[in-house]
């Protein structure tokens, strides 16, 4: 400010000197004072005019927003322009940062597995991520600013929306889904700000399926246990109230023992499944020779075959020679899985049928255990569900031969815990093949 005042005074003095000199030269010395005053006024007007011009230039520059342009380089207006330029640059930097943060925030919401939708105070869609758009079957851009109730016509959602009881969520069907795999989603609205609303959705299909499986599991276990308990209770009541001959009593006791054994098998399989699901995968420290494994499975398989085929011609069971390898993992789990597959083949193969069991080493180092039978085969629509707990294609035949409905579920868990794969192939009327493939790091050659 001092330099601005100094500059103004200097300009006036210069004008006064020049005006006085000119007046003295033209009109004489008695007009020198008047010429000096006139010169000072003229130079002051010129200074103010130039200063106003520079001020207007700065003002136009501020209106135009050209940060890179130079409105003034010196003086008060130069300092004003420099400070304004700094503030504008700072503002632009903050805007760029805010824009980048907003873009990152929206990208994060877009990547969220949950749906997010913002509604304005008029309940119109202000913004939606792609997940919510797909779940509701709308177009996030095309349907922007459309009332939400015009686009989502599910009766449960409409009732939830109009009652405005947003303390809980509502479960509705998702849109744009294949009929074979229906999806369910939860929707909850969270009011915020001045009448705006945040709508959150999440896919609850897996949760509902898990809950359904839990209910089915409890129902199946209850049914499987209730049946033999009913038989046992009936036999006990009969033996308590009626005088029985020795032969009848022995027959009843035999039937009771069979039902007790059935319940024991069910409990044992349930405990096995629980242990498999709750323990870490087995390491590679333990090993069992392939030949030893088959030697342990064969007697039990043949004994079961004699039991289920006592009334007809015997089944033909063939165990191929085992390669000189060891399987690394849990010997007891592998024995349980392979024995389940062999015994399942026995249960479902008619008398006189053929069952072939083999364990081979492939060129890529993987080991393959295979059970092939000449049974009735399995319709294709059942194949995907065979490893579900208590799922049976022929319920009566499995129960008659002592099956619990958990065998293939145990096999699946054992194979997965060892990093392997279970494949099931079947043709109705031609038989079935169950194949377990174990990875190369679970196989070791026996030297010698």
Phi, psi of 373 (to 5 degrees): -125, 165
In this prediction, residue 3 carries a pLDDT of 59
Phi/psi region, residue 245 (left: phi>0; alpha: psi -120 to 50; beta: rest), is: beta
* Angle ∠(283,284,286) on CA atoms, nearest 5: 100
Kindly state the average pLDDT of the residues 256-282. 80
Encode burial over 365-400: b for 16+ CB neighbours within 10 A, e otherwise: ebbbbbbbbbbbbbeeeeeeebbbbbbbbeeeebbe
Question: Domain-by-domain residue ranges, the chain?
Answer: 2-95, 113-203, 214-279, 282-445
Q: What is the mean pLDDT of residues 422-430?
A: 92
Q: In whole angstroms, what separates CA 222 from the centre of its chain?
A: 32
Q: How far apart are CA 440 and CA 262, in angstroms?
A: 37
State how far the Cα of 185 lies from the Cα of 182, in Å rounded to an integer.
Answer: 10
pLDDT of 204 reads 87
Query: What was the pLDDT predicted at 434?
Result: 95
pLDDT of residue 200: 92
Q: Which candidate, 181, 40, 88, 287, places its Cα nearest to that of 32?
A: 40
263: tokens are: 């319940």
Predicted pLDDT of residue 293: 94
Give the percent of the chain with pLDDT over 90: 26
Domain with residues 282-445, CATH architecture = 2-Layer Sandwich (3.30)
Query: 349 and 357 in contact (C-beta within 8 Å)?
Result: no
More confident residue, 445 or 209: 445
DSSP H stretches of helix in 28-129: 32-64, 75-111
What integer pLDDT is reported at residue 312 of this predicted model? Answer: 74
Q: What angle do CA 23, 29, 33 make, to 5 degrees?
A: 65
Inform me whether the pLDDT recorded for 320 exceeds 90.
yes
**Residue 272's beta-bridge partner residues?**
none
More confident residue, 322 or 47: 322
Burial class (CB in 10 A: 0-12, 13-18, 19+), 53: exposed
Q: Does 113-203 match 214-279 in CATH topology?
A: no
The percentage of residues in the chain with a pLDDT greater than 70, rounded to a whole number, is 79
**Stretch 264-291: mean pLDDT:** 83
Predicted pLDDT at 71: 54
Summarize pLDDT for 206-245 with one digit per residue, the tens.
888 777 777 777 777 776 777 778 878 887 887 877 787 8
Residue 414 backbone dihedrals phi, psi, to 5 degrees: -65, -45
Classify 284 as helix, strand or coil: coil
Residue 442 is predicted with a pLDDT of 94
Element containing residue 369 per DSSP (H, E)? strand 367-373
Higher local confidence (pLDDT), 74 or 188: 188
Fold of 214-279: Helix Hairpins (1.10.287)
Would you say residue 174 has pLDDT above 80? yes
Each residue of 49-79: pLDDT tens digit? 776 766 667 666 666 656 555 555 556 666 6
Residues constituting the chain: 448
pLDDT for 322: 92
| Residue 42 pLDDT greater than 90, yes or no | no
Instruction: Tell me the pairing of strands 316-319 and 354-361.
Output: parallel
pLDDT at 37 over 80: no
Which alpha helices (DSSP H) does 331-406 contain, by range? 331-348, 380-383, 395-400
Residue range 13-36: mean pLDDT, rounded: 68
- Please report the pLDDT score of residue 191 as a whole number: 92
CA distance 54 to 46: 12
Average pLDDT, the chain: 81
**What pLDDT is stored for residue 421 in this prediction?**
94
pTM for this prediction = 0.55
pLDDT category at 47 given cuts 50, 70, 90 is low
Determine contact, residues 105/97, Cβ cutoff 8 Å. Answer: no
* Topology of domain 113-203, CATH: Beta-Lactamase (3.30.450)
Return the pLDDT at 272: 78
83-97, 118-132, 402-416: least confidently modelled range? 83-97
């Amino acid at each position: 400010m001092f330099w601005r005042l100094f500059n103004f005074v200097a300009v006036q003095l210069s004008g006064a000197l020049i005006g006085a000199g000119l007046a003295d030269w033209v009109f004489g010395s008695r007009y020198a004072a008047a010429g000096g005053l006139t010169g000072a006024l003229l130079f002051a007007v010129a200074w103010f005019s130039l200063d106003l011009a520079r001020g207007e230039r700065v003002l136009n520059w501020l209106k135009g927003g050209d940060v890179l342009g130079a409105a003034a380089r010196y003086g008060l207006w130069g300092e004003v322009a420099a400070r304004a330029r700094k503030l504008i640059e700072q503002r632009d930097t903050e805007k760029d940062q805010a824009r980048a943060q907003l873009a990152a925030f929206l990208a994060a919401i877009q990547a969220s597995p949950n749906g997010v939708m913002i509604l304005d105070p008029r309940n119109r869609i202000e913004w939606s991520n792609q997940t919510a758009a797909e779940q509701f079957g709308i177009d996030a851009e095309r349907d922007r600013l459309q009332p939400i109730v015009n686009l989502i016509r599910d009766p449960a959602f409409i009732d939830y929306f109009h009652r405005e009881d947003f303390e809980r969520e509502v479960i509705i069907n998702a849109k744009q889904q294949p009929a074979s795999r229906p999806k369910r989603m939860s929707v909850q609205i969270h009011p915020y700000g001045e009448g705006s609303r945040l709508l959150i959705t999440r896919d609850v299909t897996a949760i509902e399926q898990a809950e359904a499986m839990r209910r089915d599991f409890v129902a199946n276990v209850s049914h499987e246990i209730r049946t033999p308990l009913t038989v046992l209770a009936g036999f006990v009541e009969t033996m308590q109230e009626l005088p029985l001959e020795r032969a009848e009593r022995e027959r009843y006791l035999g039937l009771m023992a069979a039902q007790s054994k059935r319940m024991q098998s069910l409990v044992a399989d349930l405990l096995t499944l629980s242990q498999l699901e709750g323990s870490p995968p087995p390491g590679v420290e333990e090993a069992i020779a392939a030949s030893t494994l088959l030697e342990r499975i064969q007697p039990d398989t043949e004994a079961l075959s004699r039991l289920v085929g006592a009334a007809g011609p015997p089944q033909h069971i063939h165990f191929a020679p085992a390669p000189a390898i060891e399987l690394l993992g849990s010997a007891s789990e592998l024995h349980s899985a392979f024995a389940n597959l062999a015994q399942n083949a026995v249960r479902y193969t008619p008398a006189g049928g053929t069952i072939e069991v083999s364990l081979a080493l492939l060129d890529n180092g993987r080991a393959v255990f295979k059970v092939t039978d000449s049974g009735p085969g399995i319709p294709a629509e059942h194949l995907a569900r065979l490893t579900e707990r208590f799922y049976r294609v022929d319920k009566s035949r499995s129960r008659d031969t002592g099956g619990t409905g958990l065998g293939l579920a145990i096999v699946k868990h054992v194979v997965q815990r060892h990093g392997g794969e279970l494949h099931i192939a079947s043709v109705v009327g031609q038989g079935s093949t169950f194949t377990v493939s174990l990875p190369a790091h679970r196989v070791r050659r026996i030297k010698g």
